[in-house]
Amino acid sequence: MKNCDSDLSSMTIALTDDANTYAYPPDVALEIQQASPASYAVAADFLNVSNVDLVSLQHEFGIFGGEAGEFILGLLSGLNAPIVTTLHTVLANPNPAQRRVMDGIIKHSSRLVVMADKGRRILQDVYDVPTEHIAVIPHGVPDRAFIDPAMAKHKLGLADRTLLMTFGLLGPGKGIETAIRAVPALVRDHPNLLYMIVGATHPNLVRDEGERYRDSLVALATELGVIENICFVDRYLSLDELLDHLAACDIYLSPYPNEAQIVSGTLAYAVALGKAVVSTPFWYAQELLADHCGVLVPFSEPDALGAAVARLIVDGASRSEIRTRAYERGRAMIWSSVAKQYLKVFSDVRFERRSGASRAIRPVNDEAWNRALPPINTDHLAALTDMVGVTQHTKFAVPDRRHGYCLDDNARALLLLSELSTLRSLTPHEEQLALTYAAFVEHAWSPKDNRVHNFMGFDRTWLDDAGADDAHGRTVWALGAVAMRKDDRFLDGWAAARLLEMAPALVALTTPRAWAYGLLGISKLLRRFPGHRNLEQLRGELSNRLFQRWSDAAAPDWIWFEDRLGYDNARLCEALIESGHDTGNESHLDAGLDTLRWLMTLQTAEAGHFRPIGTETFGSDRRRPQPFDQQPLEACAAVSACLTAARVTSDVRWKREARRAFNWFLGANDLGIPVVDVERGACFDGLHPDRRNANQGAESTLAYLSALTAILSTAEQDSSSSRAARVVELCAAGTKPLRRVPNGVRTGLPEDRPEAQLSCGCPNP
C-alpha cells in the first residue's frame, strides 16, 4: 500500500498465543495476548491514543480468544476509528456462538471485505448485510513472471521429473490423503512423477499431537508403494523459496474434501503464477477456476483426480491453455492492484463516516449554537512559546521543537495580542509574550535585502533566504495593528517605524495574499494617521492590484481573484472591503462584498453549517471546493471578513455569517465535534474526513483565539452602542447634558480611551 500512497503510514498489532513468543518485525507496535480479554482492551486504547485514521481487521475463526473468538469484540467496541474487516472465513451455517461473534463484527465494521462473490452472497442471505456494506477484493498475490516450469525445475535439481505440488501448513481437512491415493495409478504410466507436499505441520497440531498426522501420510504413501514418488518439504519456506518451488511445478493440486471453503491463499498463488490446477469444487475454486482456468473434479475421489492429472500430463496444449488463462486472471490479483482497491475502500469509509456525522448537525439557526461565547484563555499559546517565539507545531499538545519557528505564526501572535488588548487588559504574562513576538518580528527583518525571513530552526538559525512574500505581508499587518494603538512601552512607535520601513517592499511582491495582508495593516495605521501620503498611495496601488486580479479572473460562475482557491481565502475579500470602504471606492467595496458572498456560499454545507474550503481543493484550477481537510485558518478568516463586511455595511446578516463560521470551532461542523479545548484555549489542527487532527499547533490555536477575540469585540461594541442609544432616547428633550463617564467598555479606537459610555446624569436607569 505504501507503494501506492507514499503518505501512508501504518502499524501492526499482532496476536500472540500464550505459549509462544515470536521475533516480530519492527512494524509490530503491540502484541495482544490471545487468551487475555484485558489485552484486547489495551490494544483499543493504544490505537485510540495513536489517533489512527482507520483499523483494518483480519478475521479468521480459531485465531482470537474466547468462545468463537469473542474477545475480539472487546477491541472493536472500544475503537474510535472506523473499522474495515477482511473475513477469511464466512460461515453459511454458524453455531450460536459463531453467529453472535459475526453479528458483533458486522455491527462494529464500516465495511466487510470478502475475497469471493460467494462470501458476499452469504453475508447478504445469512447475515442480512446490505450490499453497500460489502466489498469484494481478491486475495493478494505476488507479481511473478510467467515462466516455463522446466527452467525452475532445473534450479531445484528436478529437471527430469513431472512435478505435482500442494503447499501450505499441513493438517487434516485439506484432502492430502485423496491426492496421495491418486499417485499409484499415475506412477504406473509416469514413473518419473513426483508429488511434492510443501509446508510445516500446523503449530497448533504439533502442540496437541506432535507429528502424528504427518506420520500417517508417510505411512499411507508407504502402504501404497509410492513413498519414493512423494516428497515432504517439512519446513517453513521464505516467500522467494516458496515461489521458486511453485514455479517449478507442472500441475498444482488443491484437493479440499468439502465445499465450504470461501478462500484459499495457496490456490490464489498457484493461479497467479500460471499453474495448471486440478482442484475439488469448493466455493473459492469454483469462482477462481471458472472459464477454463483450471480443472474441477469431485470431492474425495482419487480416481477422478488421477484421471484429470493424467490428461493434463499428456495433453500439453490443454495444459498450456489453462496456464495462460490462469496467469491472465492472476494479473487482477497482484498486490499492487489489491492495495489500490483497499485504499479506495478505506477512503470511502472515512468519507462515509464524515457524511453520517454531517447529517446529524443541527440547523444553523439553532439557539444552542448561539449560547454564551467561551472566555479567552491563552494558556496553550503560552505553553507553545519559549524565549525565542511561538513554536510552529505540536505532537498532540506537546510543542514539537524539531520544526522550530516561523515568522507567520509569530506575526499572527503579535496581531492577536494587539487585538486582545482592545477587549481587556493584557496580563503581565501576555505583555511579556507580546514583547517576545515583537522581538521575533524584529529579528526576521533583513534591511539589506528589504525582505523577511520566515523559518527558523530550534537552534535559532534561519532556514531560508530572506524573501517570504506572504510572511512579509502578514508582518506589515501585525505591525499596523500594534502601531494603531498607543502603548505605554512605546511598542506603537517601534511598530510604526518598522511598518514604514517594510511596507514599500510590498509593491515588489507578486502574491495577492501578501498584498491583502499588507492592505489590512496599512489601513489600521491610516486610522491613526489619516492623510499619510506615502501610505495612502501604497494602499491605492495594492488595492488596485487586488481589484485587477479579481477583474481578470472573475466570471459569472467563478467570482474570485484567482483561477484556484487556496488558503486564508476570505482575507482577499476583507482587504478589498476595508480599503474600498476607507477610500470611498465603491467598485472595490462591491467587488470585495461580492467575492465574500460567493465564498461563503461555497463554504455552506447542505445542512447549513459552515464548511471551510478543504485542502484537497488547493492547486486545482476552478475546481469546486472539496470538503477536506478542513483548517481553522479558513474559519478564522471567514469570521473576520464577515465582521468587517458587517461594520462597513451595517447589515446584521454578515454578523450571523460570522457567528456561523465561528460555530465551526464549537462543533457546528461536518463531524459534529468541537475543534477546540476552551479550558486551555487550544485548537486542534483541523478536521479529517472521520476525525479531528489531534495536534494543536500555533496556526490553529491562533486562528481560534483571533476569531474568538473578533466575535467578542464586536459583541462588546454592539453592547456599548446599545447603551449609548438608550441614553439618547431617555434624554430626547435635551434637558440634561451628555458627558462621558468610565464604565469599563472599550470600542478599540484610540480616541475612546479611557473607556466610557454616554450619560446625561439622569437618575433614570
| 8 Å CB contact between 756 and 741 | yes
Residue 732 belongs to a domain:
yes
pLDDT score of 405 more than 50: yes
Grade residue 720 by pLDDT with cuts at 50, 70 and 90. Answer: low
What Å distances lie between residue 189 and 162, 427, 732, CA to CA? 12, 98, 121
**By CB neighbour count within 10 A (0-12 exposed, 13-18 middle, 19+ buried), where does 300 fall?**
middle
Cα 11 to chain center, whole Å? 15
pLDDT score of 757 more than 50: no
What Å distances lie between residue 81 and 51, 75, 322, CA to CA? 8, 11, 44
SS3 of residue 604 by DSSP: strand
Same domain, 251 and 372: no
Same domain, 513 and 622: yes
CA separation for the pair 168, 485 (Å, rounded): 79
Q: Quick one: pLDDT at residue 354?
A: 59
| pLDDT tens digits for range 188-215 | 999 999 999 999 999 889 988 999 999 9
Establish whether the linkage from the previous residue to 470 is cis, with ω within 30° of 0. Answer: no
| pLDDT tens digits for range 636-647 | 999 999 999 999
How many domains are there within the chain? 4
Provide the 8-state DSSP code for 249. Answer: -
Average pLDDT over residues 74-78: 96
Q: Quick one: pLDDT at residue 719?
A: 67
What would the DSSP string read from start to end of 63-87?
Answer: TSSSGGGTTHHHHHHT-SS-EEEEE
pLDDT score of 725 more than 70: no
Average pLDDT over residues 245-269: 96
Same domain, 427 and 550: yes
Same domain, 366 and 456: yes
Global pTM reads 0.71
Residue 141 belongs to a domain:
no
CATH of the domain at 38: 3.40.50.2000
Q: Quick one: pLDDT at residue 352?
A: 81
Residue 178's nearest CA partner among 93, 271, 254, 290 is 254
Same domain, 716 and 750: no
| pLDDT tens digits for range 480-522 | 999 999 988 889 999 999 999 999 999 999 999 999 999 999 9
Same domain, 109 and 174: no
Of these ranges, 41-55, 358-372, 373-387, 725-739, the one predicted with the greatest mean pLDDT is: 373-387
pLDDT score of 754 more than 80: no
Question: What string of H, E and C letters represents the secondary structure of 685-722?
Answer: CCECCCCECCCCCHHHHHHHHHHHHHHHHHHHHHHHHH
Same domain, 314 and 196: yes
Q: Quick one: pLDDT at residue 487?
A: 85
Same domain, 727 and 712: no
CATH of the domain at 395: 1.50.10.10
Same domain, 552 and 688: yes
pLDDT score of 350 more than 90: no
Q: Quick one: pLDDT at residue 362?
A: 39
Q: Quick one: pLDDT at residue 351?
A: 77
- Residue pointed to by grid coordinates 507578486: 510
Residue 342 belongs to a domain:
no
Residue 1 belongs to a domain:
no
| pLDDT tens digits for range 112-144 | 999 999 999 999 999 999 999 999 999 999 999
β-bridge partners, 85: 57, 112
Grade residue 359 by pLDDT with cuts at 50, 70 and 90. Answer: very low
Average pLDDT over residues 515-533: 96
Q: Quick one: pLDDT at residue 722?
A: 58
Same domain, 196 and 295: yes
- Strands 28-33 and 193-198, by their bridges, are unpaired
Same domain, 130 and 158: no
Grade residue 310 by pLDDT with cuts at 50, 70 and 90. Answer: very high
pLDDT score of 313 more than 90: yes
Q: Quick one: pLDDT at residue 371?
A: 64
| pLDDT tens digits for range 557-569 | 999 999 999 999 9
Please, where are the H alpha helices in 238-301?
239-248, 265-272, 283-288
Domain that holds residue 118: 12-136
Q: Quick one: pLDDT at residue 467?
A: 84
Same domain, 450 and 550: yes
pLDDT score of 50 more than 60: yes
* Terminal C-alpha separation, the chain: 71
Average pLDDT, the chain: 90
